[in-house]
Amino acid sequence: MLKVGVIGTGHIGRIHSTVYRGDPLAQLVAVCDVIRDKADAFAQQFGARAYYSVEEMLKNEPLDLVSVTTAGPENGGHHYEPVMQALAAGVGVLCEKPLSNDIALAREMVQTAREKGRYFGVNLNHRFVPLAARAKGWVEEGRLGELCFANMALWIANRNDSAPYFHLRALHPHSIDVMRYFCGDVVRVQAFFKKASHRQIWSNASINLQFANGMVGHLTGSYDMTTRHPFERCEVAGTAARFVLENVYERLTLYPHDSDETIVVSNSIMGGTASFQETFKNRIHRFLEQVEARVPPAEIDGSGREALAAQEVIEAAIRSFESGQVVEVPAIAG
C-alpha cells in the first residue's frame, strides 16, 4: 500500500483526499496546508496527521507520493515549490493542472522529475473515462482510417477576472490534453480571443491547430458559458469514420462512412461514471496502479511531460494572439 500525503486542503484537495481514502492501493497518512485551521480540519476528517509546512511533512513522514493541490496565480502559481520539494525528497508527485502559470517553471519541474527518475503525474482527469479509452481504441485499431480533423469544445462558467490569460492557462490544459490523447503532438497554432464586454480577461478562445501527423484541429473555449448544459465535446474524423465524444463521459458515437448504422456507447446508469468526481477517482487510481506496478516514470499515463506539452500549446496560442502570426509549438526536451 502506498503512503500518500495531500498538500493544499481546498476543494480539490478534498476530492483527492476522499479518493485516496477510498482506494485500496493508498493510505492517506498526512495532509498539509499553510493555513493551520484548514490542515487541522482535514486531518480530523480524514484521520491523517496535519502539517503546516511541506518541509516538516517530508521530514517526518516516509511518503511514497503526494498530491499537490495548491492553486495560486492562474490556478497554478503555487505548485512549483511543493512539487520541487517533494521531488528533491524522493517522493513521487501527482500535481493539479496547470503545472504552473510560468512555462519556464513548468519546464523545470518536468526536467527535474526526469533527471531524478521520479514519478510525476498530472491530474488530466477528463480523459480518464471508459468512453475515451474506447474511442482511443478505435483510433489505434484504424477504425477511423487516416486521421483528418478534430474539433474540441470546452466551456464552463468562471467569473474570475484575475489575469488576462487565466481562462487559457487554467482551463485548457484539459481540452488540449484530450486532443493530444487522440491526435498526438501539436506543431503549429493560430489563435483569436474575445473578451466578453463585462469582463477584464480573454474569456473566449478560438484556436486552430496543426498536428505532427498532418491532422488539422480546432478548439473553442469559454469561461462565459455554463455547465448546466453539455460543456465538452470532442470530435475526431478520418477517411473511414468519425466519432463524437459528448460531455466528457456521457455518450460516444461512431459514424462509419460506409454504413447508415452508427455505434452508440452510452454511459451506463448501472456501474458507469456516476459524476464528474469519478474522473478524479479513475485518474488517481491509474496513477497509484502504475506506481505500484513500477511502470517506468517516463511511461505513465497523464505524465508531467504530457501536461507540459499541452501547456506549450497554450503558450504558443497566446503568442499567436499577441503577434497575429501562426506560431510553432516548441518540442519538449528529453
Ligand X SMILES: NC(=O)c1ccc[n+]([C@@H]2O[C@H](COP(=O)([O-])OP(=O)(O)OC[C@H]3O[C@@H](n4cnc5c(N)ncnc54)[C@H](O)[C@@H]3O)[C@@H](O)[C@H]2O)c1
Tell me the window of 32-40, 103-111, 155-163, 232-240 that interacts with ligand X (CB under 6 A).
32-40
Please select the residue that binds ligand X; options are 43, 66, 76, 243, rule is CB under 6 A: 76
Q: Which of 214, 220, 151 is nearest to 185 (CA)?
A: 214
Minimum Å gap between C-beta 22 and ligand X is 18
Q: Which stretch binds ligand X (CB under 6 A): 4-12, 207-215, 243-251, 255-263?
A: 4-12
Burial (CB < 10 A; 0-12, 13-18, 19+), residue 264, is: exposed
Q: Which candidate, 166, 167, 159, 162, places its Cα nearest to that of 222?
A: 167
Pick the closer one to ligand X by CB: 13 or 221. Answer: 13
* Binder of ligand X out of 20, 64, 65, 70 (CB under 6 A): 70
Question: What character string, x for contact with ligand X (CB under 6 A) and - otherwise, covers 146-185?
Answer: ------------------------x---------------
Distance CA 144, CA 325 (A): 32
Closest to ligand X by CB, 33 vs 306, is 33
Query: By CB under 6 A, is residue 13 in contact with ligand X?
Result: yes
Select the span of 59-67, 68-76, 146-154, 203-211 touching ligand X (CB under 6 A).
68-76
Q: What is the phi/psi pair of residue 162, to 5°?
A: -75, -30
CA angle 226, 313, 240 (to 5 degrees): 80
Q: Which stretch binds ligand X (CB under 6 A): 5-13, 21-29, 247-255, 312-320?
A: 5-13
Q: Residues 97, 118, 281, 305: which binds ligand X (CB under 6 A)?
A: 97
CB 67 within 8 A of CB 16: yes
User: Do residues 39 and 50 touch, judged by C-beta distance below 8 A?
Assistant: yes
- Residue where the block lists cell 493510505: 27
Binding mask 108-147 for ligand X (x = CB under 6 A): ---------------x-x----------------------
Q: Rounded to an integer, what distance in angstroms lies between the CA atom of residue 98 and that of residue 146?
A: 32
Considering only the stretches 77-85, 149-157, 161-169, 197-205, report the one whose residues sit in contact with ligand X under the rule CB under 6 A.
77-85
Residue 130 in grid coordinates: 471508459
Extract the C-alpha cell encoding 128: 480518464
SS3 for 101?
coil
Residue 210 contacts residue 186 (beta carbons within 8 Å): yes
Q: Give the binding range for ligand X (CB under 6 A) out of 63-71, 157-165, 178-186, 285-293.
A: 63-71
Q: Are strands 120-122 and 92-95 parallel, antiparallel or unpaired?
A: parallel
The nearer residue to ligand X, 154 or 170, going by C-beta atoms, is 170
Exposure on the CB side of residue 38, measured as CA atoms within 13 A: 16
Instruction: Give me the amino acid identity at 317.
Output: A
| Binding string, residues 197-226; x marks residues near ligand X by CB under 6 A | ------------------------------
Candidates 5, 28, 33, 306: give the one binding ligand X (CB under 6 A).
Answer: 33
* Binding-site ranges for ligand X (CB under 6 A): 7-13, 32-35, 38, 54, 69-71, 75-76, 78, 81-82, 96-97, 123, 125, 170
